[in-house]
Amino acid sequence: MRYIIQRSILEIFIKAQDRWISLTQVDSTKSVYLFTHGRRDLETAATDALVANGFTKEKIVSAKADAVGNIGDYMAMLWMPPTPDQIKIQKITKVEQVKAEGMIGLWKGVSKEDLFTIPLK
């Protein structure tokens, strides 16, 4: 895998049959909301994995039920609970105002697009 940094966007490439293919682009200027599903013991490992994959440590925020991100920001979710072994990366595509409900809170009004996964370890 090789990384190319250009204007705060990180492109991840893989080599496939003697050519390079772009898997995704990560905009390191955007916030990343980390959902640990109660696994605070994995927060440091998750942060390290995100940074190793092009996200900026200063932009990684612990997700809270009472505040959501903006369109274009990322969601990083430890997956699959209760014993996650990867981080699912999603991009926020729409944010609607909703009445907060339970643990999901205001995130109920957030639409997102699945991008890729990162191994947790």
Convert the pLDDT of each residue in 71-102 to its tens digit: 999 999 999 989 999 999 999 999 999 999 88
Q: Are 65 and 105 in contact (CB under 8 A)?
A: yes
Domain ranges for the chain: 30-119
- Average predicted confidence (pLDDT) for the chain: 85
Contacts 24+ apart (CB under 8 A), 54-58: 54/3, 54/10, 54/12, 54/26, 54/28, 55/26, 55/28, 56/28, 56/29, 56/32
Q: To 10 degrees, the CA torsion angle through 107, 55, 59, 87?
A: 30
pTM of the model: 0.80
Confidence of residue 11 (pLDDT cuts 50, 70, 90): low
Q: Which three-class secondary structure string do you get for 79-95?
A: ECCCCCCEEEEEEEEEE
